[in-house]
Structure 1
């Protein structure tokens, strides 16, 4: 029972930190202002949760075009720590390379989960026609991912089905990734 509680707390903390680092990465890539002066309600929250790891990494990890690689490396390191702790709790049963692969899979899984949440919020906000900074922010984050789908999937009776198609694709990817990760985690738990 204690093990399950520790694993749950570890997943919550590392999931929140990793997702916030990924959100910072994506928002900066989309050139969405994060400063308090910009009026972005998420900016201060993102900075508060990620500055402790991203800012020191920026000294050694350069940006790659519009991509803040320090945020990506920070997200990966948090996932690596997550699976490293699980590895240690389970008696170091597998190779360290397996932990690196699990961390990469965890990073992708959290990216898919975060995008799924954004698309769901976007879809709900599109139904109620809420005009706010938050709805514009979500729209700016989701539109680049929906654009290729909108080129292929036509409007049906004036309804945009691209968010539904994206959600189905994300769920399929999540299932495949989850099965792969579960198989590897089973090996770690031994």
Structure 2
């Protein structure tokens, strides 16, 4: 029971901090200004880890490597702590598990963004946060919008993207299980 509680709390903390680092990276790639409430929140959560890393890790083109490495280090810390608690052999798998955790974090983060996008498009399409979420989701929804026409005035592309993301999550989980065994 104690391990499950600690594992859950670590998962929540690593998901929030690592997800914020990945959101920071993606917002920079999409050139979304950080003066909005989402940007200020992301900076408040991530400056403590990203800024020191940025001194030693330069950006690669438009990719903020410090934010990406910060997210990976957070996942690495999570899996490292869990491995230390279990106290078994197999510590060499911790970096690989952290990489799988990072991929799962990307998938779950995009799922969260798409769900928030869909909800905001129904209830508050004119809010400043909705504009940021729309700009974050638009590049991922664009290929689906080309393939799927509006059905009765409804855009089903978020649903299609969610299905693809769920399939990707299943594949990542299967790959992780295969590596662990």
The answer to whether TM tops 0.5 is yes
Map of 1:43 onto structure 2: 39
What per-residue deviation string (whole Å, max 9, x for no partner) do you get for residues 85-112 of structure 1?
111111142141x211111110110111
2-structure distance, mates of 1:156, 1:168: 17
Distance, in Å, in 1 between the alignment partners of 2:124 and 2:6 is 42
For 2:78, which of 67, 76, 82 is the aligned residue?
82
Q: Relative to structure 2, which stretch is displaced further, 101-110 or 118-127?
A: 118-127
Partner Cα separation in structure 2 for residue 43 and residue 124 of structure 1 = 20
Deviations 1:104-149 (A, max 9, x none): 1101101111111111111122223520101101100000101111
* Residues 21, 71 of structure 2: 8 Å contact kept: yes
Number of the residue aligned with 1:6: 6
SS of aligned partner of 1:42: helix
Residue 156 (structure 2) aligns with = 161
Contact 2:111 2:162 in 1 (8 A): yes
Partner residue of 1:142 out of 134, 137, 159: 137
Matched, 1:61 2:57: yes
Kindly tell me: are residues 149 and 140 of structure 1, through their superposed partners in 2, closer, same or farther at Cα, counting changes over 3 Å? Answer: same
Q: Quick one: structure 1 residues 184 and 87, their matched pair in 2 at CA, closer, same or farther if it must change by over 3 Å?
A: farther
Q: Which runs of 4+ in 1 moved over 4 A?
A: 182-185
Superposition deviation, residue 54 in structure 1: 0.5
Q: Is the 8 A contact 2:83 2:91 kept in 1?
A: no
Structure 2 unaligned blocks of 5 or more: none
2:108 matched to which residue of 1? 113
Looking at structure 2, the residues matched to 12 and 127 of structure 1 have their Cα atoms a distance apart, in angstroms, of 28
